[in-house]
Structure 1
Amino acid sequence: MMKFRSLSQRLSFGYISGTVILGALLTLFDVTELGMMAQFALSILAIVAVFLVIHLFFYRHFLRPVHHLIQITRELANSNNSQVRAQKLFDDELGDLVDALNEMINQIQLREEIIISERDRVAIALEQADDYARVTQSTNKKLEFEVKVRKRIEAKLTDFQKFLNSIINSMPSGLIAVDENLTVTQWNQEASNISGTPDSNAIGRPVQDVFPLFGGHKDWIADVWRDNKNRTLRNQLSPYSGRRFDIVVYPLKNTETPSAVIRIDDVSEKYKMEEAMVQSEKVKSLGGMAAGMAHEINNPISAIIQNVQNIQRRLDPELSANIEVAQRHQVDLHQMQAYMKDRRILSFLNHISESGVRSSQLVTNMLQFSRASDLRLQPCLMVDVLEKAVNIAVTDDQLYGVKGAFELNIDQDFKAPEATVMGVFNELEQVFLNLIKNAAQAINERRLTLNDIDEGIITLQLTQSDRHCLVRVSDNGIGMEANTRKKIFEPFFTTKEVGAGTGLGLSVSYFIVRSHHNGQMTVESSFGSGTVFEISIPLAEG
């Protein structure tokens, strides 16, 4: 099949084909009339001429502008010359087409410029993005590092907070933080132990509601902000627990709202220790008097006792020397004895002798306070000391008060039979003998006054702890009231009737334990509930 690349070729081929076809038809039909043939040929030539003219017109006004547009289009397609434009030959539709093409080229060029501009902007943006990415990456690394540092700091702060809370909760003092309305904002474990209120029930509530001890001190606490200084209450007795507390309130500095901290210290043991120290000083003060008074008192007492004994002997009607002198003076000794008996002279002499003996024992007890410098401490097995004291006590008829009136048992619980202390055996024996006798007398007094026990029980318990030997002497006797318990170790203090006791038994025992053996002696008692004495003495080394 033949192919024609241009419109003019197609037109020329059509003209020639039409002429050939027309000549063939004339030959086939055997046209004989030459005139008609000539006329027809002229018509054909005229038609061909018209076609040529039309073709030339068509070529000039249509094909040539089209070829020009094709050439411009190819040139634009095959080159980067953006200045190429189509030439407008005629003001017709093809001219409009040329204008549209040129406008399109302008728009394309404008868009290319815009694209190039945008591409440059994109390139710049990409560079900036790369810069930003690098900065972001660097910043992210810094942030990552800062986050790690912050996490470490937060972990350390958390640990530190836990450490601070542990310190606050481990403190032996109760700590309570309150705001200006006396509402609890902080509450440690010791505050819970003292008040009996857990922190979960205390936080956010008025302090006087969760700690009744402060019920009468609200204005006193609030004065810390007015005066801007610490305030202290000493030796406050809790009506619920019976314990004593020191209370210190101090305002917090550099806080947004007024706040204060209340510190509560349990001084019950300190109070007892101070009482014991006062008692010890009182007992020690007797030592200074004892040394000077003992010899001055002992000599006339000895003379009184000796002279009374001499008088009693010289009035004895059975002595040969008395009989001889009486016969010489013609005196009947038996009649004189009867007279003195009726006049109770012999009874008076016995009272003088007994009083002299008691006074001598009093001086002997007082001399215990002046012998510290002459002591020679030796190892003493505490079991032997206690057993010796018990053996002496059970053979004393006066131990039971009215003999046979009630049953008295001495229980021995020796859990540390090897406990050995450095001391003076006889002095330690005297201490425990005094305690056993006092316990028996307290039991007898309970029997006579309260009459609510069937038998008396005295318990001796021996243990050791923290390099100390501990001995507890307890009884189910009458017990002591608080005022009596405070004065029990004072010299010459006694609850017995006049003449029944010297008031030096416990004070001497206390002095022996404290001064001679470097120990401690305490008492716990309440009226109607018995008494417990506890003695602590350091164990012997080795």
Structure 2
Amino acid sequence: MIFNSLGIRDKLIGIFVLIKVIPLIVLAWFAWDEISSFSSIIEDHVDKMAVASRQITSKVGALATKDSIQALDIKARESIERLTTDTARTVADFLYQRDNDITFLSKISPDENLYRSFISSHVKPVTFHTPWVLNKNKDAWIPSEEPLTSSASIHKNINLDEPSTSSDSTQKNINLEEPTTFSHSTHKNINIEENKTEGENKEIQARNSENALDFHYRSPEKSKNRISTPLYIEITFVDLQGKEKIKVTSSKLLPDVPLDISKVENTFCKAENYFSELKKLKPGEIYVSPVIGAYVKTHMIGTYTPSRAEKAGIEFSPETSAYAGKENPVGKRFQGLVRWATPLVENGAITGYVTMALDHTHIMEFSDHIVPTEERYSDISDAGSGNYAFIWDYHGRNISHPRDYFITGYDPETGEPAVPWMEEKHYQQWIESGAGISDFLATLPVFQEQSIKKKPASELTRAGLVGLDCRYLNFAPQCDGWNNITQEGGSGSFSILWSGLKKMTTAATIPYYTGRYGKNPRGFGFVTIGANVDEFHKAAIQTADAIQQIQNEYHEHINQQNLENQRHLDESLRHTSLHLTIYTFIMVVMVIMIAVFMASTLTATITRMIDGLKKFQEGDLSHRLNDEAGDEIGQLSRSFNSMADTIQHTMNNIIDSMPSILTGIDRSGNVTLWNREAGLISGIEAKDAVGQSVFELFPFLASEKKIVFQAIEEGIITKNQKRKTLFNSKTYYMDVTVYPLLDPEGTDSVDGITMAVGAVLRVDNVTARVRMEERMVQAEKMQSIGSLAAGMAHEINNPLAGIIQNAQLIKNRIQEDLPRNRSAAKECGMTMEQLIEYGKKRHLFTFIESIMNASRRAADIVENMLSFSRKSDPHFTESRLSEILERTVEISKKDYDLKNRFNFSTIEFIRIYDSNTPQVKCNVGKIEQVFFNILKNGAQAMMNNSSIGKKNSCFVLKERAEKENVIIEIQDNGHGMDESIRKRIFEPFFTTKSVGTGTGLGLYICYFIINDEHNGSITVTSQPGKGTTFRISLPSN
């Protein structure tokens, strides 16, 4: 409880305050409560009136808004369905007119002049928008001030001259890649309508007052950029073998030279296979192709601006990306065609075929400029608004869209359909299958569980491959809706939540059933129009907002009246409470002053005792309380002092008995506790150490400051193990552990973390343990590799023996004068002398000797490997190590191999032997081998040390007793070695010598003999340029 946690002084003050203040506060509260209750009753009545009014007005407004929105939505749906159906029928009528055109061409004799005249006379206006540019902020496209009048830049496959034929060498077709500028005055087949500004923005009112009711006038459509464009980009006459005999073109989209169209690679985009279909036609039948065109990729979906390009990590190049209306008005447009063909019949027999290629632009004109809102039509489409129309073929492939990159197309390099936009799962399946896209799509089910929950393949999006094929567009459920509506050739609409908005979408079948399109109820395909539903009921929403505004003003008026009444009540209450508060405040101040004086007098002694206890708690174990008083406080002080003596004595015994350095520090790192081990190691007594920085008393702890202060600041135990340090000129390995001394009251904290009041540092000397661990690791390594060496030696011996034996046999068979050798040579038509002479000239005997020498060397290595891998019981005798060493020195001087390479006679030997050194039990031969290997390595090191010269080479040999061991040291003044080599010196097959001069087993064998067979130890110390010392320790008993 809070009361129990308070001090006596605070409790006394609280008691005095409660006795006097509470009655006054209760009295004031009763008066205030009565007045407040009266005010609340009035306010409650007013609030109930406001709520009732609000409910009534809300119901009226909601009902009016709901009915209006529903009526407007129904009317809009009917209007857009009508627009969709009318558009679909218009498209069908247009396509049937093309049937009439191809029929007409089949009735006339093939003639290029007639074909040229036909193309020139069949034109249709195409709407182009004015040039668009980026705005000043470069975050949106806007119309340029330059109008498209007498000259313009148009990315369309328009031929401004007369249609060309294969024999017309002067034709001037527009380049599809470069924008073409043309002059109206020089091209009759281009019609740019004059700007009719007169009356364009004029507001017309009803002249007759009886017509003024709901009179509505709409200005003329503002599209002024309509250019008459040829319907057909090509007309050809093809013979029965598929060769074009007459060819007239109006565009560079198609080549003007006759081709053999029986070969698909000679057709548009290498994707037309119509000749095989032509051969199936009967007189009077018409072939109509699907939409064929090269797919146009996009760099991004949506508005193409520099900032979005930079965010996507791509170069800003809108001209090389697909056209997308207002989102990218300067992009590359989709260029396609639809081909009609029919047989030419003469005397009842088919003599050839006439074909004509419709410019796909004229199909896109039916949908590109429709706006299903009050605007109705637009020169440039705006896909971002969601209000636009588009067309699909009967399969569900998009063939007209404001964003050209959504139109499905073909790869002109391969003739294959471009990869359509697919969901992530199907894309991964296609990649894993390794199949072509056509073969893979043939295996997929169509319209499979389409849902907005599915996601498109991100790789296809980044690659710009986003052509829309409804059959596989499983993340767009509206595709299934359109398919459902048009499956029997009908029309209709539905609404769908798309990107968080409610959208109405309609679909109407294009009733064109010629050729391939007569086999599907959808005919040529279907037209769809999408629109945001909110656009239809703006008026109703505005009315609802007005009703809401009136309702809010009414509520505000009621609230103001309520506030005015409340203000009068509050004013009366304020005067009453002010006087009561003043009187109460004066009484409270007087009571508190008296309470503080009396409580301070009574609790001063207790406060001094608490301060003393806190010092003891903070670590000052020598602090004692004043126990001179004779009252209960004095008795309590004496009891505490006795307990403190006991605790201090016990703590000192515990701390001093620990073998570790144990020191307490405050937050600054100054010593507060110093145990006996710390004094022994540092040579500083506790009374001198307290108050000094622990980092100055133990300099090696300076590197541990980070973990020390981390433990204090974060209140966690920190530790560093096996820290190598130099102390009193000796190397030690220390474990440093820091234990935080937490503040029991938790008064000090940083960022919510309670800080410690200090810490205890424990430093353990683990040098012996580290050395032991190193020896154990080395011993395990040697044992494992020894077993490996034994296995290798046994495996190598067998083939090695065969090599030596066969080499010897070869030598005997071709060199020795033996009867059987002579007989074999004679059978071969030669003498032994000739054979021997041939062997000498071709150096065969030298090669055989090299094989035998190399094999003997390998055998020596194998023998060495076996020697240290065998764990036999050698013969041990009592011997002086210095005597064995002297014999080894003499052997080394006489050894032929060493003599030729090192010349031991030039090496000086300095001997320092202790005559009182005891004998050790050892295998003399093995120990000689150890000494011999060390002397040989030392001699080689000194001979290679150019800084001392061969005449100054010197060995220092030492023998002494050390506890229960005998120590032998062999020191040379060679070039020494660095630490990285010293650590690996006893590893098997490790050598610093050149190839062919060392096996890396000599010192490993020494280690094995000393450590495993004699239970001793061998170590090496060395520094570059200061020689090397081998230290061998063997037990003397």
Deviation track 1:261-298 (CA, whole Å, cap 9, x = no partner) reads 32334444543433332221111002322343332221
Per-residue CA deviations over 1:10-34 (Å, capped at 9, x if unaligned) read: xxxxxxxxxxxxxxxxxxxxxxxxx
Q: Deviations over 1:416-442 (max 9, x none)?
A: 576333332222221111111111111
User: How far off is 1:485 after superposition?
Assistant: 0.8
1:382 equivalent in structure 2: 880
Alignment of 1:428-507 (within 5 A): 428-447=927-946, 450-451=947-948, 454-507=951-1004
Equivalent in the alignment of 2:739: 250
Query: Does the 8 A contact of 1:224 with 1:249 survive in 2?
Result: yes
Equivalent pair of 1:213/1:238 in contact (CA under 8 Å): yes
Alignment partner of 1:178 is 2:676: no
Q: Tell which deviates more after alignment, 227-236 or 275-284.
A: 227-236
CA separation of 1:425 and 1:406: change in aligned 2, threshold 3 A: closer
Q: What is the match of residue 351 of structure 1?
A: 850
Q: How many residues align?
A: 382
Instruction: Check the 8 A contact 1:400/1:408 in 2, yes or no.
Output: no
Aligned mates of 2:662, 2:830 — CA distance in 1:
90
Residue 897 of structure 2 corresponds to residue 391 of structure 1: no
Give secondary structure in 1 for the equivalent of 2:1030. strand
One-letter amino acid of the structure 1 residue matched with residue 720 of structure 2: L
Paired with 2:703 and 2:912, the residues of 1 have a C-alpha distance of: 48
The alignment status of 1:513 with 2:987, answered yes or no, reads no
Q: Match for 2:861 among 362, 382, 386?
A: 362
Matched, 1:221 2:708: yes
Q: How does 1:273-422 map to 2 (within 5 A)?
A: 273-316=772-815, 331=830, 333=832, 336-337=835-836, 339-372=838-871, 374-383=872-881, 384-399=883-898, 402=901, 407-416=906-915, 419-422=918-921
**C-alpha distance 405-426 of structure 1, shift in aligned 2 (>3 A):** closer
What is the aligned partner in structure 2 of residue 206 from structure 1? 693
Provide closer, same or farther for how the CA distance between residues 531 and 328 of structure 1 changes in structure 2, counting only shifts above 3 A: same
CA distance in 2, matches of 1:244, 1:453: 40
Q: 1:374-405, CA deviations, whole angstroms, 9 ceiling, x for partnerless residues?
A: 31442241344323322221112443674559
Structure 1 position 233, deviation (Å):
0.4
| Cα distance in 1 between the residues matched to 2:843 and 2:773 | 51
Question: Structure 2 counterpart of 1:469, which letter?
Answer: V
Q: How far does residue 487 in structure 1 lie from its aligned partner after superposition?
A: 0.7
Distance of aligned partners of 1:194 and 1:335 in 2 relative to their CA distance in 1, 3 Å threshold:
farther
Q: How much does 1:194 deviate?
A: 7.3
Q: Deviations over 1:355-378 (max 9, x none)?
A: 212222222222234322x31442
Q: Secondary structure at the match of 2:945?
A: helix
Q: TM-score, normalised by structure 2?
A: 0.33
Amino acid at match of 1:375: D
Structure 1 counterpart SS, 2:908 = strand
Name the CA shift for 1:536/1:239 in 2 (closer, same or farther; >3 Å). Answer: closer
Is the Cα–Cα contact under 8 Å of residues 670 and 691 in structure 2 kept in the other structure?
Answer: yes
Q: Deviations over 1:433-468 (max 9, x none)?
A: 111111111112223xx4567421123322223222
One-letter code of the match for 1:206? Answer: S
Distance in 1, Cα, partners of 2:887 & 2:935: 12
Question: Does structure 2 conserve the Cα–Cα contact (< 8 Å) formed by 1:423 and 1:517?
Answer: yes
CA contact (8 A) 1:400 1:441 kept: no
Could you tell me which amino acid in structure 2 is paired with residue 248 of structure 1? Answer: T
Compared CA separation, residues 465 and 367, structure 1 to 2 (3 A): same
Matched, 1:263 2:762: yes
Cα deviations by residue, 1:50-77 (Å, 9 ceiling, x for unpaired): xxxxxxxxxxxxxxxxxxxxxxxxxxxx
Query: Does the 8 Å contact 2:656/2:677 carry over to 1?
Result: no
The alpha-carbon distance between structure 1 residues 405 and 517, as it changes in their structure 2 partners (threshold 3 A), is closer
Counterparts of 2:774 and 2:1004 in 1: how far apart (Å)?
Answer: 14
Query: C-alpha deviations, 1:498-528, integer Å up to 9, x for none?
Result: 2211111111111111111111111111111
Q: 2:1022 aligns with which of 514, 518, 525?
A: 525
1:234 counterpart residue number: 721
Q: Distance in 2 between matches of 1:399 and 1:199?
A: 62
Distance in 2 (CA, whole Å) between partners of 1:476 and 1:394 is 18
Query: Aligned equivalents of 1:453 and 1:234: distance in 2?
Result: 46
The 1:480–1:186 alpha-carbon spacing in structure 2 relative to 1, beyond 3 Å, is: farther
Q: 1:266 to 1:292 in 2, by over 3 A?
A: same
Q: Greater shift after overlay, 345-354 or 266-275?
A: 266-275
Task: Please state whether the residue corresponding to 2:719 is helix, strand or coil.
Answer: strand
CA separation of 1:318 and 1:296: change in aligned 2, threshold 3 A = same
Cα gap change, 1:398/1:347 in structure 2, threshold over 3 Å: closer, same or farther? Answer: same
* Amino acid in the other structure paired with 1:247: V
Moved more, 495-504 or 174-183: 174-183
Show CA shifts across 1:288-309 (max 9, x none): 2234333222122122123223
- Partner Cα distance (2:838, 2:677) in 1: 79
Q: 2 CA distance for matches of 1:375 and 1:351?
A: 37
SS at match of 1:258: strand
Change (3 A) 1:217 1:440: same
- Give yes or no for contact 2:898–2:904 (8 Å, CA) kept in 1: no
Q: Would the alpha carbon gap of residues 249 and 419 (structure 1) be closer, same or farther in structure 2, given more than 3 Å must change?
A: same
Of structures 1 and 2, the larger Rg is shown by: 1
Q: Is the partner of 2:993 in helix, strand or coil?
A: coil
Conserved? CA contact 1:179–1:259, under 8 Å:
yes
Change (3 A) 1:334 1:191: farther
Q: Which secondary structure state, in structure 2, belongs to the residue aligned with residue 446 of structure 1?
A: coil
- Identify if the C-alpha distance between structure 1 residues 185 and 492 changes in structure 2 by more than 3 Å, giving closer, same or farther: same
The percent of aligned pairs where both chains have the same amino acid is 35
1:312–1:458: structure 2 CA closer, same or farther, 3 Å change rule?
A: farther
Q: Is contact 2:800–2:855 with CA below 8 Å preserved after alignment? A: yes
Cα 1:326–1:456 change in 2 (3 A) is farther
Distance in 2, Cα, partners of 1:221 & 1:283: 40
The range that moved more, 323-332 or 406-415, is 323-332
Amino acid at match of 1:283: M
Offset from partner CA, 1:183-241 (integer Å, 9 cap, x none)? 13455687689789998986533334454444454342123345555321023234886
Decide which structure has greater helix share.
1
